[in-house]
Amino acid sequence: MKEQVPTPHIGAQYGEIAKTVIMAGDPLRAKLMAERYVDNAKLVNQVRNMFAYTGTHNGKPVTVMGHGMGIPSIGIYTYELFNFYDADTIIRVGSCGARQDYIRLGDLIIAMGCCTDSNYAAQYDLPGTFAPIADFGLVRGAVDACERFGYRYFVGNVFSADIFYCENPRKQNWTKMGVLADEMEAPALYMNAARSGKKALTICTVSDHILTGEATTAEERQTSFTHMMDVAFSLI
C-alpha cells in the first residue's frame, strides 16, 4: 500500500488503477467507455464525480477515467496517476476545434505534439522552451489502427489554450503555422509523462470548425465520438 493513496482527488486504493488509463474530459464519457469497452468494470473513484472504472478489455487490465476541463485539471489527475498509482500509459480521448480547411467534423486528430499559451512548463525551470510530444510508439499504433478501421485522421501539432473565451483571440496565427486543431489538455499530460518517464497520447475528434463555424451538439460529443475510443482501446 502506497502512503500517498488515496489522494485528495482520487479515492481508489493502490492496485485499483490499471497500468493503462484511457481518459476523457467528461466523466460521463468515461462511463460510456466503461459500458462499451470494459468487461467487469468496477467503479473505483467518484470523488468530485470524476468517475473511474477498472476492468479488462480483451483480457487486458484497463482503467477509464474523467479528467475535467483544462490543463490544471488534467495536470492534477495525470500527475497522481503516473506518480502515486504507477500508471505507465495514459491516453486522452477528447474533442477539438479544427484549424485547417481540409479537416472535417468527425475527423480524428492524433496529437504528435502540442503548442500552448500555458505556463505549465515554468515549474521545471528549463533554460528555454519545452516542446511537449506524444510517445512515438503510441502515435504509430494509433495511425495503424486508423488505417485498419478506415477512419479519416491527421497527425501533427495541436494548440492547447488556457482560455476558452479569449478577450483578444489571434486565431489565424496558429493556423498559418500548420497547427491542426485546438484543444485544452495535451501539454500537461505530455509534460507529466515526460517528467515521470511514462507514455502518453492525445486522440481528438473534431467537434467544431474554427474557420467555418460548424459544430456538433453537447449530446453528440458525449455519446457518439466512438472512433477515437476504438483507436485508443486498440492500443492496450
Report the pLDDT value the prediction gives residue 51, as an integer from 0 to 100: 98
Greatest CA separation found in the chain? Answer: 52
Section 208-216 average pLDDT: 92
Report the pLDDT value the prediction gives residue 55, as an integer from 0 to 100: 98
Report the pLDDT value the prediction gives residue 204, as an integer from 0 to 100: 98
Query: Under a CB-based contact definition with an 8 Å cutoff, are residues 89 and 141 in contact?
Result: no
Orientation of helix 71-83 relative to helix 186-196, angle to 10°: 20
Task: Kindly tell me the sign of the dihedral angle through the C-alpha atoms of 158, 161, 167, 168.
Answer: negative
Report the pLDDT value the prediction gives residue 171, as an integer from 0 to 100: 66
The question of whether 162 is a catalytic residue gets the answer: no
What does the domain layout of the chain look like in residue ranges?
20-234
The mean predicted confidence, pLDDT, of the chain is 95
CA–CA distance, 121 with 202 (Å, rounded to integer): 18
- Sequential DSSP letters for 138-155: HHHHHHHHHHHHT--EEE
Report the pLDDT value the prediction gives residue 131, as an integer from 0 to 100: 97
Report the pLDDT value the prediction gives residue 3, as an integer from 0 to 100: 81
Report the pLDDT value the prediction gives residue 90, as an integer from 0 to 100: 99
Nearest to 86 by CA among 16, 185, 136: 16
CA distances for 206 relative to 21, 115, 203, angstroms? 22, 17, 10
pLDDT digits (tens, 9 = 90+) for 41-54: 999 999 999 999 99
Task: Give the percent of the chain with pLDDT over 70.
Answer: 98
Task: Give the percent of the chain with pLDDT over 90.
Answer: 90
Query: Under a CB-based contact definition with an 8 Å cutoff, are residues 68 and 74 in contact?
Result: yes
Catalytic member of 86, 88, 117, 208: 208
The amino acid present at 188, given as its one-letter code, is A
Question: Does position 154 have pLDDT exceeding 70, yes or no?
Answer: yes
Residue 227 is inside which H or E element, if any? helix 227-234
Question: Does position 96 have pLDDT exceeding 70, yes or no?
Answer: yes
What is the CATH topology of the domain spanning 20-234? Answer: Rossmann fold (3.40.50)
User: 13-22, 56-65, 162-171 — which is least confidently predicted?
Assistant: 162-171
pTM here is 0.96
Report the pLDDT value the prediction gives residue 178, as an integer from 0 to 100: 97
Report the pLDDT value the prediction gives residue 205, as an integer from 0 to 100: 97
pLDDT digits (tens, 9 = 90+) for 66-95: 999 999 999 999 999 999 999 999 999 999
CB atoms within 10 A of CB 39: 11
Question: Does position 157 have pLDDT exceeding 70, yes or no?
Answer: yes
CA–CA distance, 235 with 138 (Å, rounded to integer): 7
